[in-house]
Amino acid sequence: MQARDWSGAATAISPNAIVRYTATGEQFSGAAFMAMNEAYPDGWNIEVIDIVASGQRVAAQIRVPNGDQIDWLSGFYTVVDGAIVEGTEHWVTDRSEPAPPWRTGFTIP
């Protein structure tokens, strides 16, 4: 994905996979997911923070700087024979929500 090698990246996802975005409620087939990523306006980078795998389950934490904005992805995937067959992605924009006032006394300065 970082290299924008879309045909290479497509080998890691089944064309029939289902990928869900929880923030927007969208669902994509594997083929449409790759086409959407290819169409996404350029300017972003991917920084893999962590990957944890157990059997067919893989979890990833990824930081995505894009100009002045930083997005975070927590993704959970099922991988069969080296290809994603199902995924759920939780996206959030860094510091996009104010902290609730009641938590002030619990935070570290």
pLDDT digits (tens, 9 = 90+) for 31-82: 999 999 999 998 899 999 999 999 999 999 999 999 999 999 999 999 999 9
Neighbours of 73 (CB within 10 A): 17
- At 24, which amino acid appears? T
Rounded Cα gap, residues 66 and 77, in angstroms: 24
Confidence bin at 86 (pLDDT 50/70/90): very high
Provide the whole-model pTM. 0.90
pLDDT bracket for residue 109 (50, 70, 90): confident
What's the residue count for the chain?
109
Domains and CATH numbers, the chain: 6-96 (3.10.450.50)
What are 73's two structure tokens? 């992805």
SS3 content of the chain, % helix, strand, coil (to 5): 20, 50, 30
Q: Across residues 88-92, what is the average pLDDT?
A: 97
Residues 28 and 36 sit within 8 Å (Cβ to Cβ):
yes
The residue-averaged pLDDT of 87-106 equals 95
Q: Which residue has the tokens 């290479």?
A: 8
